[in-house]
Amino acid sequence: MTANSAENQPNVVLGVAGGIAAYKACEVLRRLTESGHRVRVVPTEAALQFVGAATFEALSGQPVRTGVFADVEQVPHVRLGQQADLVVVAPATADLLARAAHGRADDLLTSTLLTARCPVLMVPAMHTEMWEHPATQDNVALLRSRGIVVAEPDVGRLTGPDTGKGRLPDPAEIVDLARLLLAEPNALPRDLEGRRVVVSAGGTREPLDPVRYLGNRSSGRQGYALARVAAHRGADVTLVAAHTADLVVPAGVRLVRVGTAEEMRATMLKEASGADAVVMAAAVADFRPVELAEHKIKKTGRDPEPLRLTKNPDVLAELVRSRAAGELDTAVIAGFAAETGDPSTTVLEHGRAKLARKGCDLLVVNAVGDGQAFEVEDNAGWLLTADGTERPIPFGSKSRLASTLWDAVSEQLAAK
Residue 246 is labelled as binding a ligand: no
Question: Terminus-to-terminus CA distance in the chain, angstroms?
Answer: 39
Could you give the residue ranges of the DSSP H alpha helices within 47-152? Answer: 53-60, 76-83, 94-101, 108-115, 128-132, 134-145
Q: Is 311 annotated as a binding residue?
A: no
* 236 annotated as belonging to a binding site for a ligand: no
Spot the catalytic one: 11, 139, 216, 312.
Answer: 216
Taking only Cα atoms into account, the Rg of the chain, rounded to an integer number of angstroms, comes to 24
Beta-carbon contacts of residue 276 (< 8 Å; ≥ 6 apart): 195, 196, 197, 330, 331, 332, 413
Is residue 76 a known part of a binding site? Answer: no
Distance of CA 79 to the CA centre of its chain: 31
Residue 286 annotated as binding site: yes
**Angle subtended by helix axes 94-101 and 134-145, to nearest 10:** 50
> Is 313 marked as a binding-site residue?
yes
The dihedral built from the CA positions of residue 114, 116, 119 and 125, taken in this order, carries a sign that is negative
376 labeled part of a ligand binding site:
no
**Is 336 marked as a binding-site residue?**
yes
Neighbours of 294 (CB within 10 A): 7
How far is residue 281's CA from residue 273's CA, in Å, rounded to a whole number?
18
Q: What burial letters (b/e) apply to 209-246, b meaning 16+ CB within 10 Å?
A: eeeebbebebbbbbbbbbbbbbbbbbbbbbbbbbbbee
139 in active site: no
Measured distance CA(338)–CA(291) in Å, rounded: 27
CA–CA separation, 191 and 229 (whole Å): 11
CB count within 10 Å of CB 171 equals: 20
Is 24 marked as a binding-site residue? no
CA dist 241 → 213, 218, 289, 315 (Å): 17, 11, 21, 14
Residues with active-site annotation: 216
Cite the annotated binding site for CTP by residue number. Answer: 286, 296, 313-316, 336, 354, 358
